[in-house]
Amino acid sequence: MDTTRGTPPGILLIRRIRGRDWSFSTYRYVILFVTFIAYTCYHASRKPSSIVKSVLDPDPQNNTASTRPWPIGDVFVKKEEDWIVNSKRSRDSGWAPFNGKDGTSKLGEIDVAFLACYSLGMYVAGHLGDTLDLRLFLTTGMIGSGIFVCLFGMGYFWDIHVFWFYLVMQMVAGLFQATGWPSVVAVIGNWFGKRKRGLIMGVWNAHTSVGNISGSLLAASVLDFGWGWSFIVPGGFIVLGGILVYSFLAAYPEDVGFSSALQGSAPNNVESISSNDDEEARTGKRTEAINGVPRHGSVSRRSVGLLEACKIPGVIPFALCLFFSKLVAYTFLYWLPFYLTQTEIGGEYVSVKSAGNLSTLFDVGGIIGGILAGFISDKLRARATTAASFMYASIPSMLLYRTYGGISHSVNIMLMMIAGLFVNGPYALITTAVSADLGTHSSLRGDSRALATVTSIIDGTGSVGAALGPLLTGFLSTKGWDAVFLMLMLGALIAGLLLSRLVMAEISEKACKPLPVSNGQQSVEAPASQPLLSYQR
């Protein structure tokens, strides 16, 4: 009973209806789908704040409203056309307390409050995720997030103009949002071995961009009814997503009984586990032990501490790299729509709603970037080299977007997607495949309970940068957008340089092509290359 107590009720119901169980391969598809939907909901619920910025703190000269959201209507709408359409509640006046002289700074403080609580909560959430039932933990986080996102939007209907109310709502929402990423990465890591993990997680990581796109479209589509609805609708969707997770998410293969039939029959060799992923999917069997340590169900596993997880080779360099990588990515996430309303594109300004819709194309490029980075890192077996190369390439792409993005609509779209490809590519790779690789590192001696903890350390550190970027942007944007883009390019450069030691270890390994050695033998460069060698297991 201990190994099956975590079986979701939805799966139990389907078993009764069908009269038989799913195959192991089918469970994998279900896990991919459920976790994809779950984190899509998380990101969709974060997007409204960027969409409504220009409504809360409008610029009277180019603040406009579109009658039809993209893709139904035009992406670009001239301000002359929009002046004719005004809602009863004038958008020019904004919404106190965000429509004063310090309105832009207060919007930045709202963002940093959310992200600060998100990053701090990440460290605690990772350890809890390795200790508690991941399914119940993730469900609680999603429903809690939905409630407080909706409460932020209720400030519109309750006519609340007190800054601390919105600040507190964002802070609590940030704490609940911290439950998401460590949990979903841990679940995927439990179900999928290291073979082709970069490509699988690169495709799966599209949920980040899909969430941003769907969140933008949802928030923009109901903006004419009042900015409060832009929070309530995405908040309702994440609550529904939490119900889906509770009903169908099996956090471990053991939770649906796959390992219990193989007790005592599995090999103790790590190599056989990670190289037989396709065989597992084909036969529906799951290995029982890793490094000689038996696996148990989700209710009886032992977790590792934060300090022990930090000692895993490669965790600290990738965590510091993600600090700056996420600083860049989240600045675009929170400020790109606002930037578009403040910038002439082909001699025209776009509406608030159109800016939100247009910003989704950055995430379309991000989807391609995440898949491409995962595929390349699998082929080269070099995660650090791939991530660093993408970060360096993002520097000229951002410079080109800032310099030439205002020439025309088509040029803006093309350069925006290219920037999204290089900015989100390494961010997606580090937070998925790299985190899962290090969370199942050989130094853990088979304790897979480090998955959520390692993920929380890496993404939690990255989230500190994610909080810092939008905060700095709130102040730097008042001095000009050139200063903001200079900050972003500097951040991308530092992110790439932080991986230099690991990149050199990977290049040296490829150049020297050392012969395989036993577990008890290591070369002089083994400590630096240890996490990279483990990718090839």
| Helix intervals (H) in 477-525 | 481-497, 500-512
pLDDT score at 313? 77
Q: Is residue 70 in some structural domain? A: no
Residue 443 lies inside a defined structural domain of this protein = yes
Q: Is residue 274 situated within a structural domain? A: no
Q: Residue 262's pLDDT is what?
A: 30
- Specify if 170 maps to a domain: yes
In SS3 terms, 95-124 reads as CCCCCCCCHHHHHHHHHHHHHHHHHHHHHH
Cis peptide before 71 (omega within 30 of 0): yes
On whether residue 87 sits in a domain, the answer given is no
Asked, for residue 279, whether it belongs to a domain, the answer is no
Q: Residue 236 contacts by C-beta under 8 Å, 6 or more apart in sequence?
A: 146, 150
Q: Could you list the residue range(s) of the whole structural domain that residue 318 is in?
A: 9-60+96-258+304-506
Domain assignment present for residue 530? The answer is no
- Where helices occur in 291-359 by DSSP H, the ranges are 306-310, 315-341, 352-358
Rounded CA separation 455/361 (Å): 28
Digit-coded pLDDT (tens) for 73-100: 444 444 434 433 444 343 457 788 888 7
Tell me which residues of the chain have a pLDDT lower than 70.
Answer: 1-5, 59-92, 193-197, 259-306, 439-450, 513-537
Q: What pLDDT is attached to residue 86?
A: 40
What is the C-alpha separation between 369 and 264, in angstroms, rounded? 43
The CATH code of the domain that includes 337 is 1.20.1250.20
What total of structural domains would you count in the chain? Answer: 1
pTM of whole model > 0.85? no
Strand, helix or coil at 317?
A: helix
pLDDT tens digits, one per residue of 151-175: 999 999 999 999 999 999 999 999 9
In order, the DSSP letters of 70-98 are: TTTS-SS--HHHHTT---SS-STT--TTS
Strand 289-290 and strand 293-294: the pairing is antiparallel
